[in-house]
Chains A and B, each alone.
Chain A
Amino acid sequence: MNRVVTGAHYGLRDWLAQRVTAAIMAVYTVIALVVLLSGVPITYSVWHDLFSQGWMRVATLLFAASLAWHAWVGVRDILMDYVKPDGLRLALQVAVLLVIAAYFGWAIEILWG
């Protein structure tokens, strides 16, 4: 049977990205929990010093980038399942992309601002 494959072929890339970004966030989560629950009381200076360190900033940036991509794929899937009118779905998808871009920019500003 000859099948004509159509589409933009972004499905596999998104599927894989969803899993790779999940793995990155899972590692960050475990590290963050170990740091937070190490027994040192979290005061402002402890909290501020933690986010002043280069490795923590870079790790958090990686987390934020992973989250942005992961959230985009996830929210897009939800919109594709429940929002049927094309125009509305496109509008919502654009809005979600803008929100995610804004969040990511804000995260960078928090880390290096």
Chain B
Amino acid sequence: MSQAAVKKTRPKYLSLQALLFEIRLPVPGWVSILHRVSGALLFLAMVWLLWMLDRSLSSEEGFERVRHYAGLWPVKLSLLVLLWAYAHHFCAGIRYLFLDLDKGIDKATARLTSWIVLATSLALTAVLGWKLW
């Protein structure tokens, strides 16, 4: 029995390259990486969102300018992406809270709830996007 041959290298990392090109992700994996991507996106966009909140509360003129700005299509598209990011992060986060409580951890349920998260966040983006404009 050669113990040295099976000695594992530690620490191991999940590289971005492995995530993107080598590992074929099951649905819960997609929910997971999108949770991370959406979180990073929201963090990076925070300066922009704060700026719009600041302007919109500064004066009536500022408010109207932000409203006009938010109606321009590139801005609207970006805001819709951020709305999706928030919705996805929200839904996936609630799923993780249930997983923490050992609810829905068997494979079939975990895959089903992953599909529900993906579908619900897209539906929320569509409904809220339509309501807010």
Contact = CB atoms under 8 A, between A and B. Distances in A.
Interface of A: 19, 22-23, 26, 29, 33, 36-37, 44, 47-48, 51, 71, 74-75, 78, 81-82, 84, 103, 106-107, 110
6 shortest A-B CB distances, which residue pairs? A44-B63, A44-B60, A74-B39, A110-B54, A71-B43, A22-B93
A26 B86 CA distance: 11
A35 to B, nearest CB: 13
A93 to B, nearest CB: 13
Contact of A103 (B13, B36, B50, B63): B50
Nearest to A72: B43
A106 B132 contact: no
B40 A78 contact: yes
A107 B16 CA distance: 33
B23 interface: no
Contact of A81 (B14, B46, B56): B14
Interface in B36-55: 36, 39-40, 42-43, 46-47, 50, 53-54
Nearest to B62: A44
Contacts of B15: 82
Interface in B71-128: 86, 90, 93-94, 97, 100, 128
Contacts of B100: 19
B68 interface: no
15 contacts: A23-B97, A26-B90, A29-B86, A36-B132, A44-B59, A47-B57, A71-B46, A74-B40, A75-B43, A78-B40, A82-B16, A103-B46, A103-B47, A106-B50, A107-B50
Contacts of B97: 19, 22-23
B131 interface: yes
Contacts of A48: 57, 63
